[in-house]
Amino acid sequence: MKISIIGTGYVGSVTGICLAEMGHQIHFVDIDQAKLDMINSGRSPVFEPDLDDLLLKNRERITTTTDIAKAIRQTTLTIICVGTPQNPDGSSDLRFIIDAAHSLGKGLKKDQKYHTVIVKSTVLPGTTSTVVQPILEKESGKLAIKDFGIGSNPEFLKEGSAVHDFFHTDRIVIGTNDPKTKDALKALYKSLHAPFFNTDIKTAEMIKYVSNAFLATKISFANEIGNLCKLNEINSYEVFRGVGMDSRINPHFFRSGIGFGGSCFPKDIRALISFSESKGVEPRILKAVIRTNDEQPQKLIALLKKHLDIKGKKIGILGLSFKPDSDDIRESRAIPIVLTLLHEGAEIIVYDPMAMPAFKNLFPGISYARSSDDVLKSDAIMIITEWQEFSNLNYTGKLVIDGRKVNKAGREATIYEGICW
Ligand code: UGA
């Protein structure tokens, strides 16, 4: 199939390149020519394992343009993948979706064939039908479902394993009441061997938020229980191994620790809280999920203080990205940790295999180590991200405060505190 992908950020790049690998013809559209230039030179605009290799392998199936109308003319299906950042009050900023819909609508006007528009960006229930569709109809002078197709197809990709997740998804959610749109999406994904779940548009939009909210709830629950376990000298990892053996519960996303970060969980849960409040429903559980998550870094600091007067001491931080195999520091737990340590008068040295350039923009005044070994020379070491290489360090004789359960540190350190174990 011939597909336009609007937006070459994280979701757009991964989706487009993986669809090209499936044999589809991809037209990437972005207002940022620099990102398109990267794609044209064989480099993905976002870091994700295996993505550059797939891009190089499928180059002949990938073209780029800044002209949406041109892309629409050459394709039958458009997938909107632009970002939906957070407003200061937690609600979603739809600026990019709205801009994309206006340009798309103008393009649809000139397109003679039945073109299908799919929203993959994470948007609150109702957004596709009450924001995107009216703009498309107004700009194009056409009617949804009669003259063009419309639907929602949320993504469930995790940073760091997005290519694998794309090809091994648990389900493909198709939100549409239009039979032609449903058929187009089924044809698009037919080689994936995943079950299709067909529903209406706003239910599909809700499935995305509820999936993220449930996973984040599971993590905050694991952390609350983990804090209780810690006080009772119980290893919460053992507890959740036992609990997760119940097939009704499952063992995934029970890794207790310093909490969740990233561009999705915190933002999406705040958006769901704001959506819930706007409808007059008090989101008690969701608020508690955020609160537990916000408090978790301070628990790690409290464990450090049990062993050390922080003021004037050199504290080494291992890991800055919000998770391993990523250079992304958005909402990383390293940020509140470093802020608190600075506030308490510590000297800080940090190391991360990939995220140091981004962290330097936020914290130019702290020391950046050349290797993880340099961090080990500190008075105390705090583990914030479980990069694989931190499992190969020699922690003998060290004071280690661990937010992510690096087992080797637990075995070797002279003084070791795990946050929930
Ligand atoms: C998350 C979801 O897992 C994806 O399904 C979803 O598509 C994506 O958001 C999105 O909405 O785009 P992501 O944020 O990339 O993916 O990464 P996760 O692996 O879910 O990790 C998020 C945070 O939770 C990380 O800080 C991680 O360290 C933390 N986490 C995860 C835990 O603290 N414990 C766990 O057991 C699992």
| Ligand 1, CB within 6 Å, residue ranges | 122, 155-159, 212, 215, 219, 253-255, 257, 259-262, 264-265, 322-323
Q: How far is the CA of 260 from the centre of ligand 1 (A)?
A: 7
Nearest ligand 1 atom to alpha carbon 252: 36
Nearest ligand 1 atom to alpha carbon 256: 34
Tokens at 112, concatenated: 């003679």
Q: How far is the CA of 184 from the centre of ligand 1 (A)?
A: 30
Output the pTM of the full model.
0.96
Tens-level pLDDT at each residue, the chain (421 residues):
999 999 999 999 999 999 999 999 999 999 999 999 999 999 999 999 999 999 999 999 999 999 999 999 999 999 999 999 989 888 889 999 999 999 999 999 999 999 999 999 999 999 999 999 999 999 999 999 999 999 999 999 999 999 999 999 999 999 999 999 999 999 999 999 999 999 999 999 999 999 999 999 999 999 999 999 999 999 999 999 999 999 999 999 999 999 999 999 999 999 999 999 999 999 999 999 999 999 999 999 999 999 999 999 999 999 999 999 999 999 999 999 999 999 999 999 999 999 999 999 999 999 999 999 999 999 999 999 999 999 999 999 999 999 999 999 999 999 999 999 9
**Residue with the nearest Cα to atom 6 of ligand 1?**
156
User: CA 225: distance to chain centroid?
Assistant: 25
CB of 281 closer than 8 Å to CB of 248: no
Which of 270, 323, 352 should be mutated for ligand 1, with most atoms under 8 A from CB?
Answer: 323
Active site residue 264: yes
Q: Is the dihedral of CA 294, 297, 300, 304 positive or negative?
A: negative
Radius of gyration from C-alpha coordinates of the chain: 23
102 exposed, middle or buried (CB, 10 Å; 0-12, 13-18, 19+)?
middle
CB of 201 closer than 8 Å to CB of 177: yes
Distance, in Å, from the CA atom of 361 to the CA atom of 330, rounded to the nearest integer, reads: 12
**Residue with the nearest Cα to atom 27 of ligand 1?**
260
Beta bridge partners, 316, equal: 349, 381
Measure Cα distances from 98 to 35, 139, 401 in Å: 21, 12, 46
Question: In which region does residue 214 sit, left (phi positive, over 0), alpha (psi from -120 to 50) or beta (all else)?
Answer: alpha
CB of 401 closer than 8 Å to CB of 304: yes
In the three-class reduction of DSSP (H, G, I as helix; E, B as strand; rest coil), residue 312 is classed as: coil
